[in-house]
Amino acid sequence: MAARSRQRSSAPLQVLLFLNGWYSATYFLLEAFIFAYKVLLLPYPLTNLLLDVLLLLLYLGIEATRIFFGSKGNLCQRKVPLAVCLALTVPAAVMATYCLLLQTYALRLEAILSAILLLFYSVELLLGGLALASFSRVRYKGGVHPWRRSRPGWMWLWAAWAGGW
């Protein structure tokens, strides 16, 4: 049996994921209101508007998926969901950078909101990497995985398949 005597999940990462969930919802709503403001008051080209709205909706999906996998990976101390979270941080950061720099009309409020979001992402990458390294250092009693201890050759494959890896 695995020697998991101490908890390896990261409390600061979990708090940051929780806060980022609320901040992302606020960010999405504020961006939607800002788009309505820009459409009503500024000469916004229709194709650029559609692109910006599509990217905002794509951001919402990526961010919800990223926070879900990050939270579950951290709490369950699993490497794969946490790695998916860290991998999804890159496209989310690219979309936040787009909102910061590359929109047709970027307001100062959007720049501040996007900069805060990028700060969240950088700290989450750091804490997520540390948590992932912590999960990778799980040691087994005797240095050998339990179902590989006394089984010759092909039997460890059977034990892995029957035990669900």
- Tell which residue, 4, 21, 5, has the closest CA to residue 13: 21
In the prediction, which pLDDT does 158 show?
A: 55
Residue ranges per structural domain of the chain: 11-162
pLDDT tens per residue across span 55-97: 999 999 999 999 999 999 999 888 899 999 999 999 999 999 9
Strand partners, 140: 2
Q: What is the pTM of this model?
A: 0.76
Q: How far apart are CA 71 and CA 13, in angstroms?
A: 8
pLDDT band of residue 1 (cuts 50, 70, 90) is very low
In the prediction, which pLDDT does 9 show?
A: 80
- The runs of H, that is alpha helices, within 42-141 are 46-75, 79-97, 108-136
Q: How far apart are CA 20 and CA 39, in angstroms?
A: 28
Across all residues in the chain, what is the average pLDDT? 83
Between 75 and 145, the more confident residue is: 75
Q: Are 108 and 115 a contacting pair, CB within 8 Å?
A: no
Q: Are 79 and 135 a contacting pair, CB within 8 Å?
A: yes
Residue type, 116: I
Q: Are 66 and 92 a contacting pair, CB within 8 Å?
A: yes
